[in-house]
Amino acid sequence: MKRTLHVVALLLAALAFFAPRLAHAHKASDSYLTLTPHGDTVDVRWDIALRDMDAALGLDESGDGHITWGELQAARAMLTEWAFAGLALSVDAGACKVLTGDAELGTTTHSDGAYATLLARATCPGDATRLTVKYTLLFDVDRLHRGVVRVKGGADDTIFVLQDSAREHTFEGVAKASPLHFVREGIGHIWSGIDHLAFLFALLFPAVFRRQPDGKWAPVPRLRDAAVDVLRIVSAFTVAHSITLGLASFGYVSLPSRLVEATIAASVVLAAVNNLRPLFREQRWGVAFILGLVHGFGFSSALADLGASRDTLLATLVSFNVGVEVGQLSLVALFLPLAFLARNTQAYRRVVLQAGSAAVALVGAVWVVERAVGLKFLPF
């Protein structure tokens, strides 16, 4: 989630530069609460006006008449606690628990000015098909304040406005997370997971060549040869990560996530270096299988983050895995024809295969260090 936020922040900063706005509207106070249930967890997005937070808590620590991002960040823990004290979510089986410690803070704009955005996750004791929202935020400061609550669930999208005189509402028939949802998450995980991308590309760069007995690369004559090679590699990778993803999701095996993440980074280095200096010869699918076992543990922690319901874990697992496959195949489909057309050029060989692999190896090496010692050097 954080990674997406960074990318989006850059895009929006660029947009904001070109779109001057008028003075912000004078408007009565509203907060915008968006709840997205997945099984027994609920994704919470809450936009609260900085003016309202300021009136309730006092955010201008420096007293210069402005609220800065630094001041907002410094108050993060306090305002997260304050905000979620004004919200209670429950399902039929009991009260949900908002994981306020993991809440992320951002900022956005509505018609009446800047808002703080809190992104958090709630875990519930059962599926959130009937979700009750009890809302008490800000009524002590502004009795005309309203909470615009939106519950997203599959195709359904319901809005209910809570106010001082009506502070509670039960959203009925919130759709269960559809298998398609997890397919999408799987695809999204591949496309936005830069380490998986790096690994895949490291495997794909040489797919339009054959290794000669002397260790040099020669272009393949037909697209089908390249496709068959890639298919073999991707299938091996898939079978392998499906095994470990299943084992980890059902709780049979559990590895420390730092080890898993560092090993995934190491696999990226390995795959990239193999393009420069032959390490495994023609057994690249075997390597893909072994490395796939490691990546499966990585997928399982991503899946756990999505909050799959325990009752439907198998279906979720299959859906997510299908998504991962579709995500991979789509990259292959995008890349392979282009690579095939360019395979005879010096540019492909020098820039993509040699320099590209070297770059991936370098980045992967930094990741290994970062993840092994728990430090951060790269912005991604």
Partner 1 sequence: MSRRRIAAFAVFATLITTVIVVAKPAAVNAANVDVRVPTDPNEILEKSQGQPARRKGRAAAPTVDEAVSLAQAEIDAGRASGDPRALGRAKAALGAHWDDPAAPASVVLLRATILQSLHEFERADAELTGLLARSPENDQARLTLATIRTVRADYKYAEAECPKLGDALSAAVCLGNAWSLTGRSAAAEVKVGEALGTLGQGGAPRTRAEIVWAISSLGEYAERQGARDRAEAYYRKALQVSPSDPYVLRAYADLLLDLGRPAEVLPLLALYTEQDALLLRVVVAKKRLGQTGAVTVARELAERFAAVRLRGDRAHLREESWYEREIVGDAARALTLAQENWAVQREPADARVFLEAARAKGDLAATAPVRALLAETHLEDPTLLALARSTP
Which residues between 12 and 41 bind partner 1 (CB under 8 A)? 12-13, 21-30, 34, 36
Which residues, including other chains, have CB under 8 Å from residue 375's CB and lie 6 or more apart?
A: 369
192, 257, 312, 354: which one binds partner 1 (CB under 8 A):
192
Our CB check for partner 1 shows the closer of 117 and 170 to be: 117
76, 130, 184, 211: which one binds partner 1 (CB under 8 A):
184
Our CB check for partner 1 shows the closer of 48 and 363 to be: 48
- Nearest distance in Å: CB 81, partner 1: 16
Build a one-symbol-per-residue string for 96-135: x at contacts with partner 1 by CB under 8 A, - elsewhere: ---------xxxxxxxxxx--x-x----------------
Our CB check for partner 1 shows the closer of 65 and 213 to be: 65
How far is Cα 95 from Cα 131, in angstroms, rounded to an integer?
10
Residue type, 263: T
78, 218, 304, 333: which one binds partner 1 (CB under 8 A):
333
18, 66, 251, 252: which one binds partner 1 (CB under 8 A):
66
56, 89, 198, 245: which one binds partner 1 (CB under 8 A):
56
57, 93, 259, 351: which one binds partner 1 (CB under 8 A):
57
Our CB check for partner 1 shows the closer of 152 and 211 to be: 152
Q: What is the DSSP letter of 377?
A: -
Query: Residue 207 in contact with residue 338, Cβ under 8 Å?
Result: no
Q: Which stretch binds partner 1 (CB under 8 A): 64-72, 212-220, 228-236, 356-364?
A: 64-72
Our CB check for partner 1 shows the closer of 373 and 378 to be: 378
How far is Cα 182 from Cα 184, in angstroms, rounded to an integer?
5
Contact status: 4 vs partner 1 (CB under 8 A): yes
Contact status: 167 vs partner 1 (CB under 8 A): no
- Nearest distance in Å: CB 29, partner 1: 5
- Nearest distance in Å: CB 57, partner 1: 7
102, 140, 156, 172: which one binds partner 1 (CB under 8 A):
140
Is residue 320 exposed (0-12), middle (13-18) or buried (19+ Cβ within 10 Å)? buried
Query: Residue 36 in contact with residue 157, Cβ under 8 Å?
Result: no
Query: Residue 111 in contact with residue 27, Cβ under 8 Å?
Result: yes
- Nearest Cα neighbor of 272 from 340, 195, 346 is 195
b/e burial code for range 290-306 (CB count within 10 A of at least 16 → b): ebbbbbbbbbbebbeeb
46, 89, 98, 185: which one binds partner 1 (CB under 8 A):
185
Our CB check for partner 1 shows the closer of 200 and 368 to be: 200
How far is Cα 225 from Cα 104, in angstroms, rounded to an integer?
47
51, 169, 176, 284: which one binds partner 1 (CB under 8 A):
51
How far is Cα 286 from Cα 145, in angstroms, rounded to an integer?
61
Could you count the other beta carbons within 10 Å of the beta carbon of residue 279?
Answer: 13
Please report, as residue ranges, which positions from 337 to 356 form the binding site for partner 1 (by CB under 8 A). 337
User: Going along 222-367, which residue ranges are E strands?
Assistant: none
Residue type, 301: S
Our CB check for partner 1 shows the closer of 28 and 373 to be: 28
Our CB check for partner 1 shows the closer of 106 and 292 to be: 106
Which residues, including other chains, have CB under 8 Å from residue 167's CB and lie 6 or more apart?
A: 134, 135, 136, 139
Please report, as residue ranges, which positions from 229 to 268 form the binding site for partner 1 (by CB under 8 A). none
Q: What angle do CA 101, 371, 276 make, to 5 degrees?
A: 150
